[in-house]
Amino acid sequence: DIQMTQSSSSFSVSLGDRVTITCKASEDIYNRLAWYQQKPGNAPRLLISGATSLETGVPSRFSGSGSGKDYTLSITSLQTEDVATYYCQQYWSTWTFGGGTKLEIK
Amino acid sequence: EVQLQQSGPELVKPGASVKISCKTSGYTFTEYTMHWVKQSHGKSLEWIGGINPNNGGTSYNQKFKGKATLTVDKSSSTAYMELRSLTSEDSAVYYCARTGTGAWFAYWGQGTLVTVSA
């Protein structure tokens, strides 16, 4: 099975900061990578598929990059509504999620 | 508008079974695979399995084989997941999630809380 590792389980950020969340697969997943945002009490929300494709309605301050095993979700100018937990997911071979990265305000 | 409406919270006794439903609307039910995901309190997401509503074909995470059974009712556009031999480890929120044009999970139900307690 493919393992997905998000190196930071949480970190504190300031409003307006640029945030980078990383995700590493245990093997090449050929850009079959999605990012989800989850707020407390809510279901996850798809932000990005195919490593870089922004879903309709997702603000353009979100972007995805990466290839091979290593992928990144970036948020430029963090807003209050971006405080949430973010999960990566590979769908190259069955489906596996990362452990999540929780953003908190300093 | 695509909607996935899950059944309400369940309180079940250890050793019992529970069946959760996910009623869909806003799209052709048989055209997209439906998946189920477990989220234990404060934890990450685990893929349980998926079902092709067109032919009933299923794929399971090895960890959940024997624990979860996925079915569909095409007449009502509803997907089901039955969990059996429940223990406290099965207490969690369970989500149904529909694929998009690719294999990612584009739409999610609101989640069903299952609590296993005597």
DSSP A38-95: E-TTS--EEEEETTTEEPTTS-TTEEEEEETTEEEEEESS--GGG-SEEEEEE-SSS-
Task: Name every residue in B having a CB less than 8 A away from some CB of A.
Answer: 35, 44-47, 50, 59, 61-62, 95, 97, 100, 102-106, 108-111
Residue A48 has pLDDT above 90, yes or no: yes
What pLDDT sits at residue A11?
A: 87
Confidence of residue A24 (pLDDT cuts 50, 70, 90): very high
Residue B29 has pLDDT above 90, yes or no: yes
Please give the C-alpha separations between residue A50 and each of A12, A71, A84, B104, in angstroms, as whole numbers: 28, 11, 21, 8
Q: Render pLDDT for A49-67 as a digit per residue (tens, 0 to 9).
A: 999 999 999 999 999 999 9
Strand partners, B10: B114
**How many Cβ atoms are within 10 Å of B106's Cβ, its own excluded?**
18
Can you tell me which residue has the tokens 């989220």? B39
Give the mean pLDDT of chain B.
97
Q: Render pLDDT for B64-110 as a digit per residue (tens, 0 to 9).
A: 999 999 999 999 999 999 999 999 999 999 999 999 999 999 999 99
Residue among A80, A84, A79, A94 at smallest CA distance from A35 = A84
Residue B10 and residue A80: Cα distance in Å, rounded?
A: 33
Pairs of residues, one from chain A and one from chain B, whose beta carbons lie less than 8 Å apart? 53
Instruction: Select the residue of B62, B102, B109 nearest A49 (Cβ to Cβ).
Output: B102
Residue among A100, A37, A82 at smallest CA distance from B45 = A100
Interchain CB distance below 8 Å, A87 and B59: no
